[in-house]
Amino acid sequence: MFRGSKLLSLIVVALAVSTSTLLFQTVSGNQIIAPSIMGFDALYVLLLTCAVYFLGGATFSVLPEMTVFAVTMAVMIVASLALFSTLLGAAQNDVMRLILTGVIFATLFRSITSFFQRIIDPNEYAVIAANSYARFNRIETDLLWIAMAVLVATVVVVWRMRHRLDVISLGYAQAVNLGEDPRRATFWILCLIAIFVSVSTALVGPVVFLGLIVVSVARLVTPTPHHSVLLISSALVGAITLVGGQLLMERVFALTTPLSVVIDFVGGCVFLIFLLKGIRR
């Protein structure tokens, strides 16, 4: 069974994940990184866990989904700006430092999350467990419409920035020379990334390596610095990967392995190859 809403959700997630990854690579001047590697998704799960812990599972469950989504997204934007804006300024030319800090952030967020989950009442735990793992089989379709609206609005903003993104990807000094303000651009791009990550994590939970594979493949298929092309190619590759992968899993492998596991395995390998290639160069 492959319902329309599920298909739509997968496309929304593909678009959110691929675009946020491309944006993060542009703003960090680094093509082997993705928001999820830096801990953006983990941050989202942590925020939800905190909400359950402090409000109590019972209160949390009766809150309207829309309210939870909107508030989490707002907090997510503020937290991402606080954590990542200084890091991006300082680590422009220091790829390893950026990745290392990201891995530490991600691990920290996950540790705090599991700490909270341990001290939470087991009954309430079920509320969060659903949000902590990637799940393409059981998607929160209640949120689909609002997620889609947010996504479309954000994608429109990104599309209108496409030429500025080209210039930002040239690096700080060159962007300044060409009349763009990289600091202001970084601020807005981080906001957009936070929104995309909120959308995809709310729908299917954290997916760590999907964005990295998708954007890397898109760069191979369309080797250009222009975001007008890269935004489209990575969205298409993302949609094909997710929808195709899920179809394959359901029809051919009869769901014995979750798609997220396969994607994270392949993506993890790709990441490792890039990292090793980068070190040797």
Partner 1 sequence: MIRVQNTSYAVSGTTILSDINLEITQGVVTALVGPNGAGKSTLLSLIARINKAQSGQITVDDLTIGDCDDRDLALRLSILTQDNTMGARLTVRDLVSFGRYPHHRGRATADDLATIETAIDRFDLTELADRYLDDLSGGQKQRAFIAMTFAQNTDYILLDEPLNNLDIAASRHLMPLLHDLCADQGKTIIVVLHDLNYAARYADQLVMMRDGQVVAQGTPKEVLTAQNVSDVFQTEADVRIIDGRPMVIV
Q: Which residues bind partner 1 (CB under 8 A)?
A: 26, 29-31, 93, 162-164, 166-167, 169-174, 176-181, 219, 223-226
Least Å distance, CB 270 to partner 1, is: 17
Q: Is 101 or 169 the residue whose CB approaches partner 1 more closely?
A: 169
Least Å distance, CB 215 to partner 1, is: 13
Q: Is 63 or 221 the residue whose CB approaches partner 1 more closely?
A: 221
Least Å distance, CB 153 to partner 1, is: 21
For the record, the structure tokens of 32 come out as 């082997």
Least Å distance, CB 176 to partner 1, is: 5
Least Å distance, CB 22 to partner 1, is: 12
Least Å distance, CB 157 to partner 1, is: 15
Q: Is 4 or 179 the residue whose CB approaches partner 1 more closely?
A: 179
Q: Is 3 or 163 the residue whose CB approaches partner 1 more closely?
A: 163
Nearest Cα residue to 76 out of 117, 29, 20: 20
Q: Is 173 or 276 the residue whose CB approaches partner 1 more closely?
A: 173
Q: Is 58 or 178 the residue whose CB approaches partner 1 more closely?
A: 178
